[in-house]
Amino acid sequence: MGQKISPVKGTRDVLPGDTYLKKDDPWIRIGHLHLIEQAARELFPLYGYREARTPVLERTALFARGIGDATDIVAKEMYTFEDRDGTQVSMRPEGTASLVRAYVEHAVQQQEPDTKWWYAGPMFRHERQQRGRYRQFTQIGVEALGSPGPRVDAEQIEMLDRWLRALGIPFEMHVNTLGDALCRPAYRTALQEYLRAHSAELCEDCRKRTETNPIRVLDCKNPGCQEVAAGAPKMDRFLCAPCREHFEGLRAALGRLGVAHIVDPKLVRGLDYYTRTTYEAIATAGLGSQSTVAGGGRYDGLVRELGGGDVPGIGFAAGVERLALLVAQAGRELAVRPLVFFAPLGPEEEARADALALELRKAGIPAEVSFRRSNPGNQMKRADALGARFALVLGDAELKSGRAKLKELKSGAEHEVDLSDLPGALRRLQP
Ligand code: HAM
């Protein structure tokens, strides 16, 4: 016998219990992964977002330049290798850099002043594996290019808020501003000076970050670093007038749209491209340390950095696996079950059961037929194990009379039905 081959660490199999068949159908219920995706597919276009798909493989330079060499993602977490032709390629750790590359590549700016795209797909980061954190995970994200905000920022945050609410997720929306190329350098310098003075209290990573990416020290999880961060200078004091006005405009627009939010000066995000608005939806229960279900922000310099024009942008991405954990906890029973299980007792009955099951499926009603011959008692056990609501035993008498008993497995109640219109009979019985 061959040896079992285990999956790559940090990757997950998605089994049918997590996927779906159809929404809003009284017969077939939807699984949480598709519930999440379908809600996005229906909601995002209402705000003008259209789906785009980009490759999983990109040139490493795209992420090095787009996300930033000094970020953890690029410095430590990318799956990078040399392609057969010698090109350095990486499996995408996120979607924004790729979407902006596509935007520049296809000269979209020349075709439309405003662009709104959404996307879904697998992302790869070599992170320490834990609940809600994987090496292959799925993001659903959006990017809006062309408007400097803040109204588009608020519109997008409201859309995320609406999506998460539709999924029944308990969360808080955190927002912050990181300033821009004009005011952030002075803040960076002040922060760096402060951190250098406290370097003995910082973890080794943050001592390095002090020189390469000091703002990231603010969201280090290490208790010592958090204490230092608590006393650090705040961006707020350094904001230039246009950045301050932008942030005030964002908060006012969020107020008009009715989006409850918390201003969180520690919300600095892990990617270098952010300017001004940053935001995160943080689960208030059910996820432990990996509680950020979605994060995003404005990146007004990224299009230019990647060879395009001066086009501002803002987006977010949500982690589908984290959402799925929460949707599952919200107690939605979503697995697909056959409504009727047919137990035919002989060869003629089997042929009739196959035909009846086909008729039900054509009518959109899930059905199963037994492929094993055994006594009615064992057939009932099997129907129960499959989670069917009804079992229907087909014997000689049923074939002759054209009538049979639909047995409710939970209560044992029986309903005599006419086999010539089984879909109709089921519709009358199903609430
Ligand atoms: P991010 O914060 O790196 O942002 O990732 C967004 C979300 O993806 C996180 O909030 C989390 O839910 C999920 N996620 C990230 N890493 C993992 C992981 N290892 N396992 C499971 N889930 C994970 C971005 O990726 C930006 N591109 C968002 C954005 C779009 N900013 C502007 N536009």
Residue with tokens 């037994």: 370
How far, in Å, from the CA of 21 to the mean position of ligand 1?
27
Which of 206, 226, 222 is CA-nearest to residue 214?
206
Q: Is the pLDDT of residue 21 over 80?
A: no
Pocket test for ligand 1, best of 94, 157, 276 (most atoms within 8 A of CB): 94
Pocket test for ligand 1, best of 137, 278, 300 (most atoms within 8 A of CB): 137
Give the count of beta carbons closer than 10 Å to the beta carbon of residue 21: 15
Structure tokens given for 114: 């405003």
Give the pLDDT score at 332: 52
Distance CA 168, CA 183 (A): 39
The per-residue pLDDT for range 167-195, each reduced to its tens digit, is 889 999 999 999 999 999 999 999 999 99
Residue 110 contacts by C-beta under 8 Å, 6 or more apart in sequence? none
Which of 36, 15, 56 is CA-nearest to residue 165?
36
Given the CA of residue 292, which atom of ligand 1 is nearest to it?
10
Distance CA 40, CA 379 (A): 41
Distance CA 366, CA 338 (A): 5
Q: What residue's CA is closest to ligand 1, atom 15?
A: 319
Structure tokens given for 93: 């750790």
Residue 304 contacts by C-beta under 8 Å, 6 or more apart in sequence? 310, 311
Q: What length is written for the chain?
A: 431
Question: Residue 146: which pLDDT band, with cuts at 50, 70 and 90?
Answer: very high
Asked whether 315 and 142 are in contact (CB, 8 A), the reply is yes
Give the pLDDT score at 15: 72
Q: Within 13 Å and on the Cβ side, how many CA atoms surround 425?
A: 21
Question: Residue 324: which pLDDT band, with cuts at 50, 70 and 90?
Answer: confident
The per-residue pLDDT for range 264-273, each reduced to its tens digit, is 998 988 888 9
Give the pLDDT score at 30: 53
DSSP string, 249-261: HHHHHHHHHT---
The per-residue pLDDT for range 295-320, each reduced to its tens digit, is 999 999 999 999 999 999 999 999 99
95 lines ligand 1 (CB under 6 A): yes
Give the pLDDT score at 361: 86
316 lines ligand 1 (CB under 6 A): yes
The per-residue pLDDT for range 390-407, each reduced to its tens digit, is 999 999 999 999 999 999
Pocket test for ligand 1, best of 139, 278, 298 (most atoms within 8 A of CB): 139
Q: What residue's CA is closest to ligand 1, atom 31?
A: 296
What is each CA distance from 51 to 42, 125, 415, 421, in whole angstroms? 11, 23, 48, 42
The per-residue pLDDT for range 22-72, each reduced to its tens digit, is 445 455 455 678 889 988 999 999 999 999 999 999 999 999 999 998 888
Q: Where are the beta strands (DSSP E) in 70-147?
A: 79-82, 88-91, 115-124, 136-145
